Amino acid sequence: MNGRPEQFSAEPNELLVERLRDGLGLTGTKVGCDTGQCGTCVVRLDGRSVKSCLILTASAAGSRVTTIEGVTERGGELTGLQEALRQEHGTQCGFCTPGMVMALGELVENTADREAPTEPEIREWLTGNLCRCTGYHSVVRGVQRACSAARAEIPEEISEGAAVTASAASAASASASASGKEV
Amino acid sequence: MTAVTGEVPLQGSGLLGQPLDAREDPQLLRGEAKYVADIDLPGTAHMAILGSPVAHAKILSIETKAAEQMPGVLKVATAADFTDVMPLPCIWIPGGVESHFPPHPYGLPGARPVLTGDAVRHVGDPIAVVVAETPRQAAAALAAIAVEYEPLPVVTRADDALAEGAPQLHEAVPGNLNAYWTCGDKDRTEAALAEAEVTVELDLVNQRTINSPIEPRGAVGDYNAATDEYTLYASTQGPHNHRFLLAALVLGIPFNKLRVIAPTVGGSFGTKGYLYPDMALVLLLSKALRRPVKWVDTRTGLMNSTVQGRDHRQHVVLAGTRDGRMTGLWATSYANLGAYPSTIGPGVATALMGRSISGMYDIPAAFCEVYAAFTNTVSLGAQRGSGRAEAAFLMERLVDRYASEIGMDPAAVRRMNLVPKEKFPYDNGLGWTYDSGDYQLNFDKAMELSGYADMPARKAEARTRGKRLGVGLATYVAICGVGPSTRMSKEGMLGGTWESANIRVHPTGEVTVTVGSASTGQSHHTVFAQVAADELGIDPALVQVYEGDTLKAPYGQGTYGSRSYSMAAPAVALTARKIKAKLVKAGAVFLGVPEEKVVYAGGKVYEEGNEENTKTFAELAMAMWYGWGLPHEIEPAIDETTHFDPPDFNYPFGTHVAVVEVDELTGETEVVAYTAVDDAGNIGNPKIVLGQIEGSITHGLGQALMEAAVYDEQGLLVSSDLTKYALPRAADVPFFTLDKTTTPSPHNPLGAKGAGEIATVPPAAAVVNAVVDALSDLGVQHIDMPLTPEKVWRRLRGEAE
């Protein structure tokens, strides 16, 4: 869990989001609907973004779970994706934001070794995350900014699927997040 | 109170208008902001609410014993437990108050009790609550409460509710009619319609929609028995208002014993300004149990309890000449208030819509009548652009219908009828007096930016791809800056609508700004700091903003109707001006020169003509803190407050152009281009406003294309979760082409007009106009929203609505 081992027993029907919020106090992960539609509860499970309201805690046993709290230090420096979203004001009320950061982080990472994702690709990737404030425009611009910054600044040797974050600010912070926070 | 009239020159350091980054963003991006569901007080118990499963029934009995025996259950309560609690008041009664002393709104007809005991009137109507050790235990115990119902007939449409023999919701409201409300000149309009060369008519359904903030509502009540004080944490857009409503009108407790705190609020769009039973219940139960009581809604719960929007059925008529001059406008509307009058729902359904129906047009005769009725649906309230969006929809659909009837270009008809610049301030004959505007400039800019002249060629090109391209225009005026308290009283608002700010300068030169308003995502901390820093000529990093806590913040009414920047920000600016005036007086002492020789500029005072003789802001702050040498008439310290009540509303406006492509095979509508030119007066932070404009347009597109609250014949809300209620997703919208014009409002010292929700007002009309344009050669003159692929596909095949 965010790079630390966690041991506990869970009820068979306990949802991962309940464990995160109520059991572990990781309230950055939000609950916005009851049906897996809104994406505010997205976390990374072994690097893949998943909706933690649709996953039983028990089924996550043995996996690496990264929540928004595992992306940056409290009050610490933002990742490249977060910084790009900040510059584009890709947030308003912020309730959908942690889920978006988690989901979009995977997109930015997965496309780091090829041409930047296109606008339709970004919009399609965002389909699992609802935002009522921004209409998504500033979020899409933020991802575009993050991707172009990543391509301008990140050396080639970024390892596939390794980094938790957008990896944009620097190779150093990307590898730090890969080695230090996620495992 | 400070009233501002006429021309007030802008002052400041030039910081306003700059796209400062939102200082709220880092903590939001790191997931560190605390929303109400994240609040975890020691010893908290959890509340769940039993909502009615049926839309209309008498309650014969409620059996709670089994639930009381369930694991972890601490308390089960029904209406019988709260007989001394007043019903939730409605404070916007259409019709108005001709008095300085408002009537006490206790016991208004149809007012909602905290729990219903006699009957249920909509699915989700709260009947009982359980408090337990955990949320799961509370939810489980709800199932053990046995309620016996005697079913009653159901009505879900306003026009049906007013018909002879309709099911009756409230004994005190025979015929279900809450209000019959009119504005404008009926006789003149009747004459205009009778004498017109051309009249066109439409029957419109402005469908009910669900606001859907992504954060559901929630509340935590914390009663302190030692001090007999209550604290309510709630996802509210108006903590002071909620204190007023709860303390004075519902609980009957001293005002100074209730503290309301709005933590970070995850969007509202109108819905979180309302008073809901849960807010009172967590406080009452916390007192009963001597423990904090927390309630967090589910999405389905939200959809069955939080106020919904729009919902008018209308017959509208436009009269004009053969050559395109509009001469008369008539609107008859049946508004669905739902089962109970919400806090301000009846006013939204009447005045907010009716007085706006003529939009940007100079129409000599206009009249609007609204029948506001109770039905077995969730209560009606505000929704982003409320009232004004409904008005723009009817007007802009009518203009297109009229243009088609007389064979003129819809843009030409619109342009010909815009209120001319020289007519401002402009009395629209429906009760509003528009403050300022250059509608021609705004309209022309939108036409040019959208490439309107090239549309015929684009239509022809699209047809070669199996697509029908349509272009739709919509203009609007959005009354904002609610508002002038006396003016609002004449609309029937039972409450002041002013806004306030306090600025405290600390001895080391930092500044704390507190405002009565409360953000639901509008970056208040950034913008109010910007306003204060601009006026005081200091670095905005020195300014910290606090809001959302009734104990700390000065009074204010909250964030609604796009009023933060045109109501609360002016209060900040005026307070800063008081401080400057004080520092000029004190500066005369410190600089040793007469007051008229003292200049305040650039964050310091200095002697006119001798800038060497100066004191910086930080030096002044420290000197004022010590107060040494100040003459008796100058108080030490720098701590000023302003209550701002403007002389009138402000009236943003704009022109939007939607370009859609309708797929001939599937009926799918894609918005391929969208151009908006809005005028929100002087803008404080364009980065913040840009985000609000983009979000607002997307919201409006949602109503046009996919959103609808659907009730079945039994009154069940079919679209009761996000698998059945469609919200726009990222792939549903393109980037927009946006620009602005700027006509400052004379009604506040910043020249500001509302901005946050204004761009929600025209998109529904623009998109429907565009789709009707795309299908016009098939004889299609109107399609009701939402324009689902199936609906459009049927029209493509020649089927009638």
Contact B522 A132 (CB under 8 A): no
Q: Give the CA-trace dihedral at B171, B175, B177, B182, to 10 degrees.
A: -150
The tokens of B131 are what?
A: 């408090």
Strand pairing partners for B201? B317
Length of chain B: 801
User: Which H or E run contains B281?
Assistant: helix B277-289
Phi-psi region of A140 (alpha: psi -120 to 50; beta: other; left: phi over 0): alpha
Give the separation between CA B152 and CA B180, rounded to whole angstroms: 26
Give the separation between CA B675 and CA B677, rounded to whole angstroms: 7
Tell me if B382 sits within 8 A of B416, measured CB to CB: no
Q: pLDDT tens, B478-493?
A: 999 987 999 998 898 8
User: Nearest CA to B117 among B149, B141, B70?
Assistant: B149
Contact residues, chain A, for B267 at CB < 8 Å: 92-93, 95, 132-133
Contact residues, chain B, for A76 at CB < 8 Å: 30
B721/chain A closest Cα distance in angstroms: 7
Tell me if B551 sits within 8 A of B224, measured CB to CB: no
Among A137, A144, A164, A177, the residue to mutate for chain B (most B Cβ within 10 A): A137
> From the list A86, A132, A136, which residue is nearest B214 (CB)?
A132
Indicate the range of B45-59, B100-114, B166-180 predicted with least confidence: B100-114
pLDDT band, residue B94 (cuts 50/70/90)? confident
The pLDDT of B740-754, averaged and rounded, is: 97
Give the separation between CA B373 and CA B450, rounded to whole angstroms: 41
Which residues fall within 8 angstroms of residue B763, CB to CB, at 6 or more apart?
Answer: B474, B656, B658, B674, B696, B697, B699, B700, B701, B703, B704
Does residue B413 carry a pLDDT above 50? yes
Among B20, B729, B733, B737, the residue to mutate for chain A (most A Cβ within 10 A): B729
Does residue B91 carry a pLDDT above 70? yes
Give the separation between CA B574 and CA A10, rounded to whole angstroms: 57
Contact B28 A94 (CB under 8 A): yes
Tell me if B58 sits within 8 A of B273, measured CB to CB: no
> From the list A40, A78, A93, which residue is nearest B265 (CB)?
A93
Does residue A182 carry a pLDDT above 80? no
Contact residues, chain B, for A29 at CB < 8 Å: 31
Contact A135 B695 (CB under 8 A): yes
Q: Where are the alpha helices (DSSP H) in chain A?
A: 16-18, 80-87, 97-110, 119-125, 137-153, 171-176
Secondary structure (3-state) at B697: helix
What are the backbone angles phi and psi of residue B15, rounded to the nearest 5°? -75, -30
- The ipTM (two decimal places) reads 0.95
pLDDT at residue B99, as a whole number: 66
Indicate the range of B402-406, B495-499, B600-604, B760-764 predicted with least confidence: B495-499
pLDDT at residue B759, as a whole number: 98
**Does the CA dihedral B385-B240-B432-B642 come out positive or negative?**
negative
> From the list B22, B212, B727, which residue is nearest A89 (CB)?
B22
Contact residues, chain A, for B730 at CB < 8 Å: 122-124, 126-127, 129, 131, 136, 139-140
pLDDT band, residue B109 (cuts 50/70/90)? low
The tokens of B78 are what?
A: 């029904």
User: Which H or E run contains B606?
Assistant: strand B604-607
Contact B37 A31 (CB under 8 A): yes
- Mean pLDDT, rounded, of chain B: 95
User: Nearest CA to B730 among B771, B698, B697?
Assistant: B698
The nearest alpha carbon in chain B to A96 belongs to: B214
Give ∠ CA B180-B185-B188 in degrees, rounded to 5.
135
The tokens of B632 are what?
A: 């008796």
> From the list A97, A129, A137, which residue is nearest B736 (CB)?
A137
pLDDT at residue B470, as a whole number: 98
Contact A130 B729 (CB under 8 A): yes
For B35, which DSSP code?
A: B
Contact A28 B30 (CB under 8 A): yes
What percent of chain B is predicted at pLDDT more than 90? 91
pLDDT at residue B93, as a whole number: 85
Contact B723 A37 (CB under 8 A): yes
Tell me if B470 sits within 8 A of B660, measured CB to CB: yes
Contact A133 B730 (CB under 8 A): no
> From the list B215, B690, B699, which residue is nearest A32 (CB)?
B215
B480/chain A closest Cα distance in angstroms: 19
Contact residues, chain A, for B25 at CB < 8 Å: 85-86, 89, 91, 94
The nearest alpha carbon in chain A to B731 belongs to: A123
The pLDDT of B650-659, averaged and rounded, is: 98
The tokens of B326 are what?
A: 């509009």
Give the separation between CA B318 and CA B770, rounded to whole angstroms: 20
Extract the runs of DSSP E, i.e. beta strands, from B420-574. 426-427, 433-434, 467-477, 499-505, 511-515, 543-546
Q: Write the CA distances from A25 to A16, A83, B34, B233, B661, integer angstroms.
A: 12, 25, 12, 19, 48
Q: The sheet that has B638-644: what strands, in order across it?
A: B543-546, B511-515, B499-505, B638-644
Contact B29 A38 (CB under 8 A): no
Tell me if A105 sits within 8 A of A48, measured CB to CB: no
Q: What is the CA radius of gyration of chain A?
A: 15
pLDDT band, residue B301 (cuts 50/70/90)? very high
Contact A32 B699 (CB under 8 A): no
Specify the higher pLDDT residue, B543 or B94: B543
> From the list A91, A119, A137, which residue is nearest B28 (CB)?
A91
The pLDDT of B384-391, averaged and rounded, is: 97
Task: Using a cut of 0.90, tell me whether the model's pTM lies above it.
Answer: yes
Contact A135 B213 (CB under 8 A): no
Q: pLDDT tens, A26-41?
A: 999 999 998 999 999 9
**Does the CA dihedral B441-B443-B447-B450 come out positive or negative?**
positive
Does residue B127 carry a pLDDT above 70? yes
Which residues fall within 8 angstroms of residue B457, CB to CB, at 6 or more apart?
Answer: none
Peptide bond between residue B483 and the one before it cis (omega within 30 degrees of 0): yes
Give the separation between CA B235 and CA B338, rounded to whole angstroms: 22
Q: In chain A, what is the greatest distance between 2 CA atoms, to the nearest angstrom?
A: 47
Contact residues, chain A, for B723 at CB < 8 Å: 35, 37
The tokens of B493 are what?
A: 């608002």
The nearest alpha carbon in chain A to B725 belongs to: A37
Q: pLDDT tens, A45-102?
A: 999 999 999 999 999 999 999 999 999 987 789 999 999 999 999 999 999 999 999 9
Does residue B271 carry a pLDDT above 50? yes
pLDDT at residue B104, as a whole number: 57
Contact B690 A31 (CB under 8 A): no
CA B600 to chain centre: 38
Give the separation between CA A41 and CA A49, rounded to whole angstroms: 10
Specify the higher pLDDT residue, B92 or B699: B699
CA B571 to chain centre: 20
A57/chain B closest Cα distance in angstroms: 16
Among B21, B23, B30, B265, the residue to mutate for chain A (most A Cβ within 10 A): B30
CA B378 to chain centre: 18
Give the separation between CA B638 and CA B513, rounded to whole angstroms: 12
Q: pLDDT tens, B518-528?
A: 999 999 999 99
Contact B697 A127 (CB under 8 A): no
Strand pairing partners for B544? B512
Q: In chain B, what is the greatest distance between 2 CA atoms, to the nearest angstrom?
A: 87
Does residue B642 carry a pLDDT above 70? yes
Q: pLDDT tens, B657-702?
A: 999 999 999 999 999 999 999 999 999 999 999 999 999 999 999 9
Peptide bond between residue B277 and the one before it cis (omega within 30 degrees of 0): no
User: Nearest CA to B545 among B515, B513, B574, B505?
Assistant: B513
User: Nearest CA to B472 among B318, B730, B655?
Assistant: B655
pLDDT at residue B172, as a whole number: 85
Give the separation between CA A148 and CA A143, rounded to whole angstroms: 9
B594/chain A closest Cα distance in angstroms: 47
